[in-house]
Structure formats: C-alpha cells, structure tokens
C-alpha cells in the first residue's frame, strides 16, 4: 500500500524525530499542513518538560491529523527499554498509529502496534538492517543516507534505493533534502516519500534557539562535519570554533573503552547521558559560534537548500506543490505508483 494511504496523510513528507529539536508545536504544524510530524519522547519530556500524554493532548488541540512517535529500541539499558514500552502504550492510548523505530529489533513494537491497525517504519542504513526489520514485520523503511542530520549512514540515497527497492515496501529517503526541488527529485528517483529533519529546525514553530536556526540558514554543505565526540559514533554537526578546536575523533580513553567487551556498554551509557545533556543545552542556549562555547549544533548537509526561517506549513505546502507538478508532468511513474 502507498505511504500516503497507509498513514492517512496528503503529502509524503515526514518531519523526522529529533532529539533535542522535536517540540509538540513543530510536530503539530507539519501534520496540520498535510505531512506527518513524529514525536521524539525524550525531547518531549526532558527538553520541553511535558508529560508525554499531556504533550500528545497539546498536539491534539492544534490538529487532529495523524502524527507519529519515534521508538528507540537500544537494548543496552533495561531501564530505558522499560520506559520506552510504557511510552509506546501511552502513544497508542492517545491514538497514535505511526511509529518510527531506530536501532535494534523492532519486533516487539510491531507486535503491539499492528493488531491495533498501526504502521511501523524502521530506520535503516543498509540492506542487512532492512532484512531484519522486514523479518520483524515492519511496514516500510526509512533509508538514512550519508547526507543526513543526526547519525548519518555510510551510503548515498541512490545506493540505498538500488539496494532496497526490491523489498516491496515503501522506501522513505532521509538525508540531504532541504527544499522542494530535492524533495521532488527523491520522489522522481523512486522514493515513496521523504523524511526531513534539519529543514524543520529552521522554522518558526521549532523550540530551538534562534542562534541555532540562523546557523543552519548560514551554513553551507562544507560546514557540516561528522564528529565521534558527542555520542561515540559519527554525528553530523555544524563546524563551530569548538568543533574545530577539539577535533572529530573520540578521545583515546573513550576509544579504548569502546573496544572492550564490557567497557563498551559503560562507555555508551556515559556518552548517552552526557550527549543528552550537552545537546539539550546547545539547542536551547544558543551561542555555539562563540570561541568560548563547548556546544554542538546538529545539522545535515540539507543546510544547502535552507535559505530562511519560516513556518513549517509553508515548507510542507511547497513540497506538496512540487509533488503535484511532478505527477502532472508524468515524469515520475515510480513515484506516482508508490507515493
Ligand atoms: C538535530 C537532529 C536530531 C535527530 N534526532 C533523532 C532522533 O532522536 N531519532 C531519530 O530516529 N532520528 C533523529 N534524527 C534524524 C532525523 O529524524 C532525520 O532522519 C534526518 O534529520 C534526515 O536528514 P536531514 O537532517 O538532512 O533532513 C535527528 C536529526 C537531527 C538533525
């Protein structure tokens, strides 16, 4: 089934979950305009201070259109996994029927969601993870490419399309799409839809600091670098004076700990806690351009297409128009079939 019909939306455009940038007003604005916003529960609770259920209800006061939730299924912490299971139940009780899973095996999510008529899409960076996701019963795949914001994958959008296209489920392009031209190009290439993250940070509704939004507008593709120093694995960030000074590789102790069988779990936990705090601070405080700052601003290479801070709905509407023009031109047989 097509992505738009599966999700009950008009425009095959997902506003990807973003820690620490997804706030309920942003999610609501994208869904209200005909795309679909995805709640990031950690961002909702720990960055914006909402009880999760209250956050969903706040969104519902703005729009009754479909929304999604991100389910991070990292198994290394039982405490965290239990909390995630509780959050999934809250989301289902509040009527959410679209879930985006990242990391790990999504089977328990599918088992809870599918009997209620819900849909699960799984984030993948290569065929191996796609096969695992499909074996667990997911309904679609989000192909995270090497231009994405957040944790980028190793492959290009074209390579991922080639590698995953025969799997028979809708494929969403995540990474590098910052405007309606790139959006239409992804559909024309054969993707069923697009997930954008960075583009939606530079919007009126996003709760991030204005300095961060302006840095995204000002940045060129060459300003985006991958650093291991925040989470231990490559994370796309804007090159700031601090990033320049401290370098992009994990420090020697961290590297040593990440190699050990037991110590790697501790090191990942240390990274997770530290980065959650660090990224929250950076997103809300601004000032990462100052030489004295130790903050990181996450962004992907899609900064190239981002020229101004504007309402999220305006972005969705321009993408809708570009998709309609593409269909009318008859140059996107694959996209027409799937979107
Ligand atoms: C600041 C930021 C935070 C992100 N956090 C998450 C997250 O918590 N969970 C997730 O699945 N993806 C996360 N992502 C990835 C996005 O959902 C999306 O796939 C990605 O941003 C697409 O690339 P783009 O930024 O070039 O549009 C994040 C991306 C950014 C830019």
Ligand 1 atom 13: residue of nearest CA: 18
Residue 125 Cβ contacting ligand 1 at under 6 Å: no
Q: Is residue 41 in contact with ligand 1, taking CB distance under 6 Å? A: no
Burial 108-128 (b: 16+ CB within 10 A, else e): bbbebbeeeebbbbbbbbbee
Question: Nearest C-alpha to atom 7 of ligand 1 is from which residue?
Answer: 18
15, 18, 276, best to mutate for ligand 1 pocket (most atoms within 8 Å of CB): 18
> Is residue 172 pLDDT above 90, yes or no?
yes
Q: Whose CA is nearest to atom 31 of ligand 1?
A: 149
- In sequence order, what DSSP letters do the residues of 42-71 get, joined into one string? HIIIIIT---HHHHHHHHHHH--S--EEEE
pLDDT (average), residues 37-47? 96
Please indicate whether residue 312, judged by its CB atom, sits closer than 6 Å to ligand 1.
no
Q: Minimum mean pLDDT among 22-36, 227-241, 259-273, 283-297: which range?
A: 259-273
Residue nearest to atom 17 of ligand 1 (CA): 16
Using a 6 Å cutoff on CB, does residue 21 contact ligand 1? yes
> Could you tell me if the CB of 295 is within 6 A of ligand 1?
no
Helices (H) then strands (E): counts for the chain: 16, 10
The pLDDT, as a whole number, for residue 48 is 95
254 versus 35: the higher-pLDDT residue is: 35
Nearest to 181 by CA among 171, 194, 200: 194
Q: Which of 224, 178, 223 is nearest to 202 (CA)?
A: 178
The most distant pair of C-alpha atoms in the chain lies apart, rounded to whole Å, by: 57
Of 178 and 279, which is predicted with more confidence? 178
Q: What is residue 322's predicted lDDT score, i.e. its pLDDT?
A: 97
Place of tokens 């840095």: 215
DSSP 154: S
Is residue 196 within 6 Å of ligand 1 at its C-beta?
Answer: yes
Residue identified by tokens 């392009």 is: 173
Determine whether the shortest distance from the Cβ of 150 to ligand 1 is under 6 A: yes
Q: Rounded to the nearest whole angstrom, what is the distance from the C-alpha of residue 144 to the centroid of ligand 1?
A: 9
- Whether 6 lines ligand 1, by a CB cut-off of 6 Å, is no
For residue 100, the ligand 1 atom closest to its alpha carbon is 11
pTM given for the model: 0.94
Alpha carbon nearest to ligand 1 atom 30, residue: 150
Per-residue DSSP letter, 127: H
Quick: pLDDT tens for 254-298: 777 777 877 777 777 777 777 888 888 888 888 888 877 778 899
Ligand 1: atom nearest CA of 299 is 31
For residue 201, pLDDT over 90 is answered with: yes
What average pLDDT does the structure give for the chain? Answer: 92
How confident is the model at residue 295, as a pLDDT? 82
Whether ligand 1 lies within 6 angstroms of the CB of 302 is answered as yes
pLDDT digits over 313-339, tens only? 999 999 999 999 999 987 654 543 444
Our answer on whether the CB atom of 198 is closer than 6 Å to any ligand 1 atom is yes
Ligand 1 centroid–CA 197 distance in Å is 5
CA proximity to 14, closest of 163, 200, 164? 200
* DSSP one-letter code for 116: G
pLDDT (mean) for 182-187: 97
Instruction: Tell me the C-alpha distance between 237 and 229, whole Å.
Output: 11
Residue 215 Cα to ligand 1 midpoint, Å, equals 17
Q: 3-state class of 11 per DSSP?
A: coil
């Amino acid at each position: 089934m097509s992505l738009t019909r599966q999700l009950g939306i008009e425009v095959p455009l997902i506003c990807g979950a973003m820690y620490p940038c997804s706030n309920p007003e942003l999610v609501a604005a994208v869904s209200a305009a005909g795309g679909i916003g995805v709640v990031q529960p950690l961002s909702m609770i720990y960055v914006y201070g909402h009880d999760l259920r209250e956050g969903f209800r706040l969104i519902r006061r703005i729009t009754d259109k479909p929304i999604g939730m991100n389910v991070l299924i990292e198994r290394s912490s039982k405490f965290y996994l239990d909390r995630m299971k509780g959050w999934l139940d809250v989301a289902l009780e509040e009527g959410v029927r679209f879930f985006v899973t990242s990391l790990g095996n999504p089977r328990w999510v599918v088992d809870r969601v599918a009997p209620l008529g819900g849909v699960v899409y799984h984030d993948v960076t290569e065929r191996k993870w796609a096969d695992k996701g499909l074996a667990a019963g997911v309904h679609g795949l989000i192909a995270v490419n090497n231009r994405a914001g957040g944790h980028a994958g190793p492959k290009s959008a074209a390579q991922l399309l080639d590698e995953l296209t025969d799997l028979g489920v809708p494929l969403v392009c995540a990474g590098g799409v910052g405007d309606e031209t790139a959006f239409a190009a992804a559909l024309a290439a054969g993707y069923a839809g697009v997930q954008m993250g960075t583009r939606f940070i530079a919007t009126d509704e996003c709760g991030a600091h204005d300095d961060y939004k302006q840095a995204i507008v000002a940045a060129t593709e060459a300003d985006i670098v991958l650093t291991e120093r925040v989470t231990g694995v490559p994370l796309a960030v804007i090159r700031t004076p601090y990033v320049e000074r401290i370098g992009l590789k994990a420090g020697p102790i961290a590297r040593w700990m990440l190699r050990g069988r037991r110590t790697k779990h501790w090191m990942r936990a240390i990274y997770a806690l530290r980065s959650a705090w660090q990224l929250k601070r950076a997103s809300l405080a601004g000032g990462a351009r100052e030489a004295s700052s130790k903050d990181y601003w996450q962004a992907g290479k899609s900064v190239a297409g981002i020229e101004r801070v504007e309402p999220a709905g305006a972005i969705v509407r321009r993408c809708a128009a570009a998709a309609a023009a593409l269909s009318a031109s008859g140059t996107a047989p694959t996209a027409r079939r799937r979107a």
